[in-house]
Structure formats: C-alpha cells, structure tokens
Amino acid sequence: MIIRSKAPLRIGFAGGGSDVSPYSDIYGGAILNATINKYAYATVLPRSDQKIILNAIDNHIRVELESTEYLEPEGDLALIKGIYNRIVRDFTGKPLSFELITHVDAPPGSGLGSSSTLVTAIVGAFQEWLNLALGEYDLAHLAYLIEREDMGMSGGKQDQYAATFGGVNFMEFYDRGKVIVNPLRIKNEILDELSYNLVLYNTETSRLSSQIIEAQRQNVLNKKTESVEAMHNIKKQAILMKELLLRGELNRMGEVLNFGWEYKQQMAEGIVNQNLLEIYRAAIRAGSTGGKISGAGGGGFMFFFCPRNTRHEVVKALKRFNGKVEPFEFTKSGLKTWKNI
C-alpha cells in the first residue's frame, strides 16, 4: 500500500505578521492569502521490519532509524521526527514502522510557507494511513502545535491553514489560538486576470525567517510604537485587499500592495535589504504599481502587480538581477490525501 498527500504553497497578499503571537493575541490579526500550484508532497510506505526511514529527496537526506515510541528531535530531519512523536503520543500510543518520502516545490526560506506546508502534508499522510479523526481546523491546528510548541519554531499561524483549506482566504486570528478561515468566492475571470497581472519572482536568496519573526515579537512585547502601528496598518491592508478582490477592483491592487510595502519595513529590522530594495525599485520603474516580499522578508520570493500589459517590461527589468520569474496559477483546493493499494 502507498499513501500519498500533497498540500499547496501560498502567496500572502496582505496582513503578514499579524498572525504572529503576541500581536494576534493582544490585538487580533487578519491575513489575506491564496494558494498556488506549487506543492509539498509526502508519501508513506508501511513497513514490517521495525524500521523508520525518512527520505527528503529534494534535500538529499536519508535517515534510517529503529522504530521506537520517541525519536530524539535533533539532527537531520528533526522536524519530521517531531511530527512522528506527536502522532504516536496523541493517536497510536505505540511505535510505527514505515518509510516517509518528502519533497517540496520551493526551498526552505522561500517565503511561500514551504516548511509549514510540508508539516501539513505529512500530518495529512498520517491521517490517511491511520484513519485519524481530524477535521480541517483540527489538522491545521495540530500542524501549528507541532511547529510552534513541540519544536519551538518561531512563526505565525496562516501557513498551516492555507495549506489545509486552499483557495483564496481571509483569515482572522485571535487570543487563545482561535482562528476563523473565511473562503472568498472570487470569480474565475478575476483570478485569471490577477494571475496574469502578478509576476512571481524568486530572488534565489534565502533567509532565516525565525530571526525576523523573533525581532517582530520583541517589538510587540516591548511596545515599540512604530512597529506596533505598522502592524496595525498591515492588518488594515488585509481588509482593504479583501474588499478590492470581492469587488473586482484590481486596478487598485498595486496601490494597496505599495501601502503594505512601506509599513512592512517598519515591523522589524532585516525585512528589507539593499538587494530587495533595488529589485523593488526596478520593477516599479518598469511599470509595476506595487509589490510585496512573500513571507517574513529578508529574501525568498517577491511578487509584483503589473497592470494592463506592463508585466513584459517588468520581467525584462528583473533579468538584470540574479533571480528568476516563476510561472504559477491559483488553486482552489487545499490538502489532498489518497491511497494506492
């Protein structure tokens, strides 16, 4: 038997960072995101030899272990070991024997939610294999707990929910882990025009998002006025963007993205560097009306809104940098799991 799953990566249009505690706990957060046709994949092959094999084929890492109830979550593929520990603790109460094969269409540090999406895909594969009684909110919350509590990894809450639910969603985040996912019914022609007008650009630089997120957390805890006000405006941006999409007013998309670009930089140091500034300015000069760093910032992917037919000039302008334009389409579905007997 083969058990497979795939979960989509996402573009965060607005509100990024307002889903991170303690900001979301104190003030409430709001994010607008959409999933795209880049995925994290997980395959489970049950075994009967009391072995656990973890095989991250995109990273060329393979780990073979004895099957026990607890794997020390350190060294290579520590996060996957942490997922296994939570599955055994909460659901099976006994060791499992299997091979887990994973790969992701974007590298860690991309800003497309790749790490959290992979966790979601792996949890989904275990759910399919073991027939776990998990609804969509349950599964997303479990993936969040594994990363943020079990493994102590800094980050927000949006990625696990985007990967699980899929589509275009306006998400709200409140105290005590309360999350509300509001799917937006956007007409197909609006989504098609939006994807045509967006240029997704891989800077081919990575960043350690945890450092930026931790700086953001400290700014909230220390009540740094400029940073907290910036986060308020980033949350406001998510509401504005939602209203534009629902009304089909794509002509103002760049303006609202640029509004967020200005405030995003004030949330914490390291979000924007000189290279990213030069890329952004080049895109604007070529005809883009606004853009965004995807994820926490510091590197990874960016995207730019290019109205009418300006995308061609923007793509041309970006060629002088070291990254590359990545094709994509929006997806309407989230996590998928299946068996092949």
List active site positions.
Answer: 159
* AA letter at 199: V
- The dihedrals phi and psi of 168, each to the nearest 5 degrees, come to -95, 120
The answer to whether 99 and 4 have CB atoms below 8 angstroms apart is: no
CA distance 20 to 23: 6
The answer to whether 318 and 326 have CB atoms below 8 angstroms apart is: no
DSSP characters for 68-121? -S-----STTHHHHHHHHHHIIIIISS---EEEEEEESS-TTSSS-HHHHHHHH
- The dihedrals phi and psi of 307, each to the nearest 5 degrees, come to -70, 160
DSSP assigned state of 167: S
Query: Residue 10 has which token pair?
Result: 């996402």
Identify the CA nearest to 15 among candidates 38, 34, 31.
31
Under 8 Å CB-to-CB from 124, ≥6 apart: which residues? 5, 7, 42, 139, 164, 335, 336, 337
